[in-house]
Amino acid sequence: MNKAKIAVLVSGGGTNLQALIDAQSSGIIKSGEIVLVVSSNPSAYALERAAKAGIKSEVVSKKQLGGSQEEFEKGIITLLDDNGIDLIVLAGFMSILSESFTSRYPKRIINVHPSLIPSFCGSGFYGLKVHEAALSYGVKVTGATVHFVNEIPDGGEIIMQKAVNIRKDDTAETLQRRVMEQAEWRILPRAVEKVSKNLVK
């Protein structure tokens, strides 16, 4: 069976990467295969996770490339081309990609965002900031969204969403954990399978 070749772009702990690796092992992801992990941070724990799973990994650090976004993106593009990548998954990747990068891969880059887009998204909304905003606004329901990536931060077409109820005693940290467990780790693998399946048709 022909499988879509997947690259996962990471910057930190790699919990979403782990969810994808587990989903691949359990057969949730069957139309695609993670063949490459690219980290923007040489000390990201995600690299350990890739090594444990026997997945090739590379580091492309903007700092090591003199801080140039163009050189940074060129480095990533070279790796994607060399490995014949069909689908790019952003999993806790802390760099905003330029329009010249995203336009190369229309409907081939997906991202998971820890809110129900269009709430609490866009420039500046990442990590705990998203959950702090949801709590301070007083919403009763939040969740996660998997979407295609285009030149607008969190602006691409939505692929899948899952809601998570907010509890009275939630902190940004407890909410972040529950959104990961109940939403992100569930819908990201399913969205990857859905997009991979379409790519290999």
Nearest alpha-carbon partner for 139 in 161, 162, 119, 113:
119
Which residues make Cβ contacts (< 8 Å) with residue 182, sequence separation at least 6? 162, 164
Instruction: Tell me if the bond preceding 114 is cis, omega within 30° of 0.
Output: no
Residue 199 three-state SS: helix
CB neighbourhood size of 170 (10 A): 18
Structure tokens at 38: 């690219």
Query: Left, alpha or beta for 67 (phi > 0: left; psi -120 to 50: alpha)?
Result: left
Among candidates 117, 89, 50, 104, which has minimal Cα distance to 193? 89
Residue among 113, 131, 147, 178 flagged as catalytic: 113
147 annotated active-site: no
Longest Cα–Cα distance in the chain: 49
Starting from the edge strand earliest in sequence, which strands make up the sheet with 109-113, in order?
Answer: 57-59, 32-39, 4-10, 87-90, 109-113, 141-148, 158-165
Q: List the catalytic residues.
A: 113
